[in-house]
Amino acid sequence: MPVQPLAKSAILMVVLVSISIISWERYLRHKGFETTYYDDPALWTHQRDKVYQPADKVTVFIGSSRIKFDLDIPTWESLTGNQAIQLACVGSTPVPVLENLANDKNFKGRLVVDVTEGLFFSTAPGNAQRPVDNLKFYKERTPAQRASFHINRLLESQFVFLDKEWLSLGAQLDRLPLKDRPGVYKFPGFPSDFGRVKFNRQEYMTDKFSADTTLQNIVKNIWVSFGKANKEPPASGSKLDSMFTIVKTAVDKIKARGGEVLFVRTPSSGGFLMAEKMGFPREKYWDRLLAITNCPGIHYADYPALDHFICPENSHLSLTDAKVFTVNFIKILSQEKGWKFPAAGTSSN
C-alpha cells in the first residue's frame, strides 16, 4: 500500500524536528553548556518532602544563595553518611521556611540556618516571595503537578536545550540589551556560567566563571546595583526586636520537639563584606541572634580553616572552595559542636 501524502508529511516533519533538536543539542554542548535543573517550586517541594527522616539520616539546610553554593552536597554526604536536604532560596530570607518547619509538628530533625544579614533581617516583600511561592506550591500541588515534575526530571537530566533558566525563549528575550527608561530599570541578568543547579538543588559556578574575571566583574556590578536600588535601611530598634522574637519563637518550637538548630555565617569578601560589616555590625545582629535563640553558631571569621576564602564575585564560593569549606565545616560540627554522624557513606539524591 502506497504511503499517503499526509503520512509522508508527518514523517518528514518528524525527521526535520529530530535533526533540529539533535543539532541544537550538540551545538549547546559544544559551547560548554551542561544539563541543569530549573529551580522551581516543584524541585524545592521534592526536597521539602524528605525532612521527616531521623536526624542521623538527614540534615536540613535553609538560607539564601550562599549556602546553596558553599555547601558541596556530595562532599557532605560522603564524609557524614548523612543526606543534605537543601531548602535555601536564592535572594531570599529563610524566615518563612523556618516558620513552616517550626509549625510542622512532624519535623524533629537537624536544621542549619544560613545567615546573610541583608536578606535574613529584611522585611521587604520581594525578599520573601520565592520561599512563599515554594511553600504555596508545596501545600497546594495537584497529582498532575506531581506527575509533571517526574517527567520534567527525566527530560532535564538528558537534554541541555531544556534549560529554562538560561536557554528558553523568555530567558533570551530578557537578555536583550535594552536601555533603561525613566522609572523602568532593566536588570542585566547574571551570566549563565555563574549559577548552575543540580537535582539536589546545590548551585555551583562553572570552571569558566571561576577563571574569568570579566564574568566575575559583571556579577560584582550587579551586587553594587542591588545595593543602590535597596532603599530599606538595616533593621533596628523595635523592628529588629520583632524579627528576633519571630525567629526565637520558631527555633523554640523545633527544639521543644527534640530538634536541633544551628546558625552559620558563610564567607563573603571584598566590597560586599565591607558593606555588610558597616550595615550589620556583628555584635548587633549575629551575636545577638545566637544569644536570643540560645543556639550554637559557626561564623566563618572565627575559624582559620574557614576565614581565608576569596569569593570570586565577593559573595559565593567556587565549587573547588565549596568542597574545602564543607570538609572543614563538618570537622567543626563534629569536634566543637558535638554533632555525631553515621559511618561515612553515600546518600541518594
List helix spans (H) across the chain: 5-30, 41-48, 65-70, 73-80, 95-102, 117-120, 126-140, 143-156, 164-167, 169-174, 207-211, 213-229, 237-256, 270-279, 286-293, 319-335
User: Which residue, chain included where needed, has cell 516533519?
Assistant: 13
Average pLDDT over all residues of the chain? 89
Cβ-in-10-Å burial (0-12, 13-18, 19+) of 244 comes to: middle
pLDDT at 35: 73
Cβ-in-10-Å burial (0-12, 13-18, 19+) of 204 comes to: buried
Which secondary-structure segment (H or E) carries 110?
A: strand 110-114
pLDDT at 167: 65
Any bridge partners for residue 262, and if so which?
A: 112
Please give the angle made by the CA atoms of 205, 89 and 72, to the nearest 5 degrees: 40
| DSSP annotation string for 299-335 | EGGG-TTTTT---TTSSS--HHHHHHHHHHHHHHHHH
pLDDT at 169: 62
Q: Does residue 332 contact residue 298 with C-beta atoms inside 8 Å?
A: yes
**Single-letter amino acid code for the residue at 243:** M
Helix (H, G, I), strand (E, B) or coil at 84: strand
Assigned C-alpha cell, 252: 523554640
Give residue-wise pLDDT tens across range 146-175. Answer: 998 888 888 777 777 767 776 666 666 666
Pairing of strands 203-204, 196-197: antiparallel
Architecture of domain 41-335: 3-Layer(aba) Sandwich (3.40)
pLDDT at 228: 79
For 237, left (φ over 0), alpha (ψ -120 to 50), or beta?
left
With cut-offs at 50, 70 and 90, classify the pLDDT of residue 187: low
Assigned C-alpha cell, 203: 548551585
Please give the angle made by the CA atoms of 267, 303 and 69, to the nearest 5 degrees: 30
Contacts 24+ apart (CB under 8 A), 179-184: none
Give residue-wise pLDDT tens across range 289-322. Answer: 999 999 999 999 999 999 999 999 999 999 999 9
Q: Rounded to whole angstroms, how far apart are CA atoms 291 and 74? A: 32
Please name which of 20, 109, 91, 54 lies closest in space to residue 342, comparing C-alpha atoms.
Answer: 54
Q: Rounded to whole angstroms, how far apart are CA atoms 282 and 346? A: 36
* Average pLDDT of the segment spanning 183-197: 77
pTM over 0.85: yes
pLDDT at 348: 45
Give residue-wise pLDDT tens across range 77-91. Answer: 999 999 999 999 999
Q: For the chain, which residues make up each domain, given as ranges?
A: 1-31, 41-335
